[in-house]
Structure 1
């Protein structure tokens, strides 16, 4: 096995990992969890900003 065979095998492995991640993220079982995570910025209060009366 030379370097080119190793590179080809690594490329195929990375492609399979990528396809697996895409398949997992678009699967129907994960939809509810992703929808809840998408709404987090709108449901939590943001306490990191300045007070409304202390503007300069």
Structure 2
């Protein structure tokens, strides 16, 4: 085996791996998990609003 064949095999393996990742990323099974991850930023904002309101209420007492 020379370097040309090894390089070709490596290229094909990387291409198959890339296609597998693309199929996984766009599959319907993964969509729910991605949607939850996308909304994690907004969950943090709700927690910050609740803690800010609690601090404000406790300072008024």
For normalisation by structure 1, the TM-score amounts to 0.76
Q: Partners of 2:18 and 2:29 in 1: how far apart?
A: 19
Flag structure 1 segments of 5+ consecutive residues without an equivalent.
48-56
Q: Partners of 1:44 and 1:29 in 2: how far apart?
A: 25
More helix by share: 2
1:30 aligns with 2:30: yes
User: Where does residue 8 of structure 1 map in the other structure?
Assistant: 8
Shift of the alpha carbon at 1:4? 0.4
Aligned 1:37-48 pairs, distance under 5 A: 37-45=37-45
Moved over 6 A (4+): none
Shift of the alpha carbon at 1:44? 1.2
Q: Partners of 2:15 and 2:42 in 1: how far apart?
A: 35
- How many pairs are equivalent? 47
